[in-house]
Amino acid sequence: MNEKFQVTSSPHIHNDFTVRSIMLDVVIALIPAGLAGIFYFGIHSLWVILASVISCVVFETIWNILLHKKNTVGDLSAVVTGLLLAYNMPPTIPVWMVIIGALFAIIIVKQFFGGLGQNFINPALGARAFMLASWAGAMTTWVSPSLFGSDAMSSATPLSLLKAGGEALQNMPGVQKLFMGDVGGCIGETSACLLIIGGIYLAMRGVIKLRIPVSFILTVSVCAFLFAGGSTLAERLQFMRWHTFAGGLFLGAIFMATDYTTSPTTPKGELIMGIGCGLLTSLIRLKGGYPEGVTYAILIMNIFTPLIDRYTVPKPFGSKSGKEKLEKKLMNFIAKKQEKKEAAN
C-alpha cells in the first residue's frame, strides 16, 4: 500500500461550486431571453449573439497567448460577457461593431485590469457605454418585433415613448406585451418574463442573491410611481408598470448588477447597490437626456463598489451591540462633564 498521504489544511471537503459551474448556470439562465430575442427580432440577432460570444472567447485566448498565460476561457466567464454584450445590442447592429465592442470588453475592461475578478466595471456594460459613445446612431436604432423579423420596421422603444411623453404615450404597448417582450428594444432585454425565469433559476441554484435585483427593481417602481407623472392613482400605477417592465431593467437587475466582481459583498452593501442603481436609473430616465438609464446606473454603482464594501463591514459575532456602545458613550460623556466640573471647582 502506498503510504504517502496528502497533507493539507482543513477543510478537507468542498462543495460542487466552481467558477465554471457558476458561469454555466448564468449561461443557462440567459438562454431563454436570447431565444426570445431571436424569435422577436429575427435571425440577425443570432448572428450578433454568436459574433459577440465567439469574439469574446477569441480575444481572451489571444490575450492569454500573447502574455504566455494559461488559457482561461474554460471558466466560461468570456462566454457570459459575450452573451451579456449581445443582449445589450439593438437587433440591427452591424456585426463588426459588436466585434469591436467585444474587444473593448475583454481586453480593455477585463484584462487590462487583471482579468477575472479584477475588473472594476462590468465588461459588457463598459463596452456598451463605449459603443454608445462611438456609434450613437447604430446603437439607438430600434425595430418593432415581428415573427422572426420578417418585416422589421424601425420603431421607438417603449422607453423613448415614455421619454417623449404626451401624445406618444398613446402608442405605448400593453403591459402584457411589455412583460412578454413583444416590444422594441435590445436583443435580450425585452422579455421580463423569461429574464425572471432565468433569475429564479439562478437564485435557486444559489448563484445570485435576491437583495440586489429585488431592491433595484422595487426602487425603480417606487420612483416611477412617485415621480413619473400622472395625476390619478390609476395613472401613477400605469407609469409604474411601464417603467418597471420597459427597457433593460430586468436584464440589468438580475444579470448585470449582480455581477460578483463589480458588486458589493456585504449584505448591507448589496442593498445599497440595488437601491443606488434604482435611484440612478430613475434619475436618468426621468430627468436625464437618455430614455434608458440602467447601463449608466450600474456602471456608476460599480465604481462605488469598493467604497461601499469598506463602509458596510458587518459586525462580527459577539461584538458589542449598538445599544451598549451608546450607553458607553453616554457614560463617557457624563464622566467627562463631571471631570470638567471638578476641574472648574
Partner 1 sequence: MGIKTFKGGIHPGYMKKLTKKSPIIKLEAGRQVVIPLQQHIGKICDPLVNKGDYVKVGQIIGDVDAYVSSPVHSSVSGTVVAVEPRLSNGGVEVNSVVIENDGEYIEDDTLNLKGNYEEMSREELIETIRKAGIVGMGGAGFPMHIKLDPKDRNIKYIILNGAECEPYLSSDHRTMMEHADEMIFGINVMMKILGARRAFIGVEDNKPDVIGLLLKKGLPYQIEVVPLETKYPQGSEKHLIKAITEIEVPHGKLPADVGVVVNNIDTCISLYNALVLGKPLYRRRVTVSGKAVKNPGVYDVPVGMSFREVFEAAGGFTKDPKKIIMGGPMMGAAQISLDVPIVKTTSGILAFTEKEGRVYKESPCLKCGKCVDVCPMNLMPYVISKAARNDDIEKAARYHASDCIECGSCSYTCPSHRYLVEGIRLAKTKVTALEKSQKR
Sites of contact with partner 1 (CB under 8 A): 1-3, 5-15, 17-19, 21-22, 75, 115-118, 209, 260-261, 264-267, 270, 309, 313-320
What phi, psi does 154 have (nearest 5°)? -70, 140
Of residues 7 and 233, the one with the C-beta less far from partner 1 = 7
Residues with Cβ within 8 Å of 126's Cβ and at least 6 positions away in sequence, in order, are: 104, 105, 108, 109, 119, 299
CB of 271 vs partner 1, minimal distance in Å: 13
Rounded (10°) CA dihedral 135, 263, 58, 80? -90
76: nearest Cα among 34, 45, 30, 37: 30
Tracing cell 444579470 back to the chain, one arrives at 255
CB of 74 vs partner 1, minimal distance in Å: 10
CB of 73 vs partner 1, minimal distance in Å: 13
Of residues 115 and 230, the one with the C-beta less far from partner 1 = 115
Of residues 47 and 309, the one with the C-beta less far from partner 1 = 309
Of residues 80 and 156, the one with the C-beta less far from partner 1 = 80
Distance between CA atoms of residues 263 and 272, nearest Å:
10
CB of 111 vs partner 1, minimal distance in Å: 12
Of residues 320 and 329, the one with the C-beta less far from partner 1 = 320
Distance between CA atoms of residues 204 and 245, nearest Å:
23
CB of 268 vs partner 1, minimal distance in Å: 11
Rounded (10°) CA dihedral 247, 251, 254, 257? -90
DSSP SS3 for 45? helix
CB of 274 vs partner 1, minimal distance in Å: 14
Distance between CA atoms of residues 97 and 284, nearest Å:
26
Of residues 94 and 115, the one with the C-beta less far from partner 1 = 115
